[in-house]
Amino acid sequence: MISHGKDIKIFTGNANPKLAADICKLMGTKLGEAEVGTFSDGEIFVSLYETVRGSDVFVVQSTCSPVNNNLMELMIMIDALKRASAGRITAVMPYYGYARQDRKAKARDPITAKLVANMLTTAGADRVLTMDLHASQIQGFFDIPVDNLAGNPIFVDYYAKKFGAECENMMVVSPDVGSVSRARAFAQKLHMNLAIVDKRRQKANSCEVMNVIGDVSGMDCILFDDMVDTGGSLCNAAQALIDIGHAKSVHACASHGVLSGPAIERISNSCITELALLDTVPASEAVAQCDKIKYLTVAPMFAEAIERIYQEVSISKLFR
């Protein structure tokens, strides 16, 4: 029973309008009427064409490429909603950009994940709903509630249906030591064993594979990561599983398909049988040319999370 008496409004920027439309369709509501565009000099403008006074408003906007434009769109939309007396504003960010810079790795580094958190709060966001943050401690960078949904139940459901009883000869693999806890949780849900690809990264967006920890010989492997950017780490890890570990085949999945630079070409030429991605980041036109990439939708999970936040009930069941 809804007790607060507010109506619900869902708006979107230009980052992922299809996902926002899918969420609205599942919730049986219409997308809020707004225009988000640019002036001739590139400045972003936002016009809201319906009242939001006292409403519970959700702004669906991934901060994917072009990252800075999408982030500014989100903040300007939040500011417009705040000044139009919205009752509560939730930034729905299926993909949270700048999350990789979450600590000072060397002297004089910025911590941009914290900077973005400050900017969103200052703009007027009352809470954040996101999925698979690159580092879960980023939730602590905010002084407002943050719900960090897990994408792995979608993959668990997909692979359980895809392979069924054939799971006995399968193994989940973490592409690096940093992703072990994420991969372990995924492996436990699928009742599979876990292996690790140990790699040494020499510089940003490049890596050198060193070793495979665990026996993957003759196994069908599922590489599990939170994001695929240039695809170097994933493709090198897959090749190591075949060359060093003598795996039978390699499937891969990741929550966020950033797919920048040579990523699509690398995946097309790799030994990966299929790469499953969530639609937190919309597919580019170039993805259509790669038949190895498959997208699974997060719309049902976000629709249920938004519905539960609106009704002021627990969303903890979505984490299980």
**CA 231 – CA 76 distance, rounded (Å):** 32
Annotated catalytic residue within 82, 162, 199, 248: 199
C-alpha distance across the termini of the chain, in Å: 24
What radius of gyration, in Å, describes the C-alpha atoms of the chain? 20
Residue 293's nearest CA partner among 308, 283, 304, 301 is 283
Q: How far is CA 16 from CA 84, 157, 239, 280, 314, in A?
A: 24, 24, 32, 8, 26
- Quick check: helix, strand or coil at residue 202? strand
Residue 199: active-site member: yes
Nearest to 194 by CA among 206, 185, 204, 203: 185
3-state secondary structure of 6: coil
Show which residues are catalytic: 199
